[in-house]
Structure 1
Amino acid sequence: MKKGRSTEMSREIAAPVEAVWKALTEGEELQRWFPLEAVVSAEDVKLTWGSGIDWNMEIEEQQENEYLRWGYDKEHHHLVGQKERRLAVEFFLEAKKGNTMLRIVHSGFGEEKSWDDLYDGVRRGWQTESLSLKHYLENHAGTNRVVALAEITSKKSEQELWDLLMAGGISVKDDQYTYTTPLGDLYQGNLLYDNPPQDLCGTLQHLNNAMLRISIERFYPGADNTIWVWIGAYGIPEKEIKEVQQKWQEKLHQLIP
């Protein structure tokens, strides 16, 4: 059986390898940058983002502070292909003058066109998720995260949806961005990842250096596009963040009936 496609990226994190390893291998730490919920045992890891999006993976190999490999099978990709495939996520950690160079390799994706959307979503996803890990460890290490998550599906194209979300305007100067949201609020901070018409990722100054992620993706051929608006905040009352979530959810339903 062919090995299939893989995606790979690297991120330097201003934290020691011990802290990065902990963030990859402990449930409480994973929840501070990656999924909404995480349960880790000696044999496997279960990650949940809500709306039926779950990763249940076996821990195939680990070498403390150096290497971690998760593996998973068909239950995650039955909508894009019926052939048995084993996919894997590998994390390589290397100490670098007190920092950590983290390399992530996600492999085993099918070569068929039916895999394209899933492959692209995962490829882009690791860009923002690795930034989330970096942001957490460099700015909020040891602090629990509160998440505002609003979502909606639509038959409109990515560009049509992006235009609706960005209608108020977005400007970028050097590494700073200013975004007038559909709520009428002004979001400002460091621009971390800009990939229109699919992704916007940046910090939020007014929410104690929170992290904003807006993404548009389709999970399998023929599926509707899904908009995700995700704000991960630290040191902000949960009530305040959940009010932001409600406002975004209501606005998405107004924009995309």
Structure 2
Amino acid sequence: MAQRLQEPHRSVGTQIEISASIAQVWAALVDANELVRWFSPVAKVSPGLDGHIEVSWGGAMTASWWIEDWQPLHFLQLREDKPLGGSADGSFGDDLASFRRLKFALSYDDGRTTLSLRHGDFAGDQSFLAWIKRGWEFELLSLQHYLVNHAGKPRRIAWLRRRTLRPAAAVWNQLMQALVVEPNCGRSGLHVRQSVAITLGAAEIAPGVIVICDPPHQLAVTMADHGGELLRIKLFVQADGSVDIDLWMAAWDNGRPRLAGFARHWKDLFAGAGVELDQRGQDIDQIGGDPICELEGCGQSLDANKVELV
């Protein structure tokens, strides 16, 4: 049972069932070549007790942890070394860094592995904690999607990030109108399993299934054809009221042509009337201009991951 945290320090937790062996799920957490197939585009791991895990999405979007407890196939506890993005709204202060833990517990029953996650302590308010939890809910869903549908296969990513001064609700509605044909993401829930049609280009519409619907924060869709890609639309409101927009699609096997086509559609969307940009949108984490790494051999994970950041 997780220890009850006193105010103002809080933790977030979530869990997921995966139709995969406990060995597969454990490897996905502690093997760099597996991490890049569902989590970060770049990963480095020194396994075992007192080892180290580092993950990166480029630029300041890097996090690392020391391995504090290592019980293969059962439990992994990490002590935060570098929080993702450094300082965020004062919630990642150095006074908490040495106390923050990331815990993974695994159990297996009837052909399924249950993975439970707890991340704390945080000094942020409820909205900040909700942002942390949303991130983990999507990442664990990505892990589930990878192991159930694409285990052992390399991943490619198309990712566009922009910033706007428009209200989040208005941006969300415009993105839904531009990318989601019918039905719209109008009710919240995890694993909604609601059929949807997604616009992949000017003349291409493809079926998908909504797996996360959390307006106006994030939408996740698994594509029913086209190789089973995973699409994410995410909005994050900064302290100054500006809104970061992330459009992300992951594909396994040979997904580069499809990703390139979708990326062009996204760029057209942003360049046209789809979303008005604040000028800072070109500078966030070096994304939005040239790729921050080449397609082949990106980062520290050898050739296990193929990344296209656009």
Q: Given the superposition, is the C-alpha separation of residues 52 and 183 from structure 1 closer, same or farther in structure 2, using an over 3 Å criterion?
A: farther
Letter paired with 1:151: R
In 2, Cα distance between equivalents of 1:87 and 1:15: 29
Q: Given the superposition, is the C-alpha separation of residues 165 and 215 from structure 1 closer, same or farther in structure 2, using an over 3 Å criterion?
A: same
Letter paired with 1:21: W
Which residue of 55, 58, 72 maps to 1:50?
58
Letter paired with 1:64: P
Q: Given the superposition, is the C-alpha separation of residues 51 and 157 from structure 1 closer, same or farther in structure 2, using an over 3 Å criterion?
A: farther
User: 1:194 maps to what in 2?
Assistant: 213
Which residue of 151, 158, 161 maps to 2:171?
161
Q: CA offset at residue 75 of structure 1? A: 5.2
Which residue of 69, 76, 82 maps to 2:77?
69
Matches within 5 A, 1:100-249: 100-111=113-124, 113=125, 116-168=126-178, 169-171=181-183, 175-180=194-199, 185-218=204-237, 221-222=239-240, 224-249=242-267
- Give the share of equivalent positions with the same residue, in percent: 26
User: 1:39 maps to what in 2?
Assistant: 44
When the two chains are superposed, the root-mean-square deviation of aligned CA atoms in Å is 2.4
Q: CA offset at residue 68 of structure 1? A: 0.9
Tell me whether 1:84 sits opposite 2:95 in the alignment: yes
Letter paired with 1:84: D
In 1, Cα distance between equivalents of 2:130 and 2:243: 13
In 1, Cα distance between equivalents of 2:266 and 2:11: 34
In 2, Cα distance between equivalents of 1:34 and 1:223: 28
**1:202-242 CA deviation, whole Å, 9 max, x = no partner?**
11134201111111113x52262111111110122424423
**SS of residue paired to 1:23:** helix
Which residue of 8, 14, 17 maps to 2:19?
14
1:207–1:233 contact (8 Å) kept in structure 2:
no
With normalisation by structure 2, the TM-score equals 0.74
Tell which deviates more after alignment, 203-212 or 9-18: 203-212
Letter paired with 1:162: W
- Give the length in aligned residue pairs: 253
In 2, Cα distance between equivalents of 1:151 and 1:195: 19
Letter paired with 2:208: G
**SS of residue paired to 1:95:** strand
Which residue of 80, 84, 97 maps to 2:110?
97
In 1, Cα distance between equivalents of 2:136 and 2:201: 26
Give ranges in structure 1 of 5+ residues lacking alignment: none
Letter paired with 1:212: L
Give ranges in structure 2 of 5+ residues lacking alignment: 1-5, 185-191, 278-310
2:200–2:261 contact (8 Å) kept in structure 1:
no
**SS of residue paired to 1:124:** helix
User: 2:270 maps to what in 1?
Assistant: 252
User: 2:307 maps to what in 1?
Assistant: none
User: 2:189 maps to what in 1?
Assistant: none
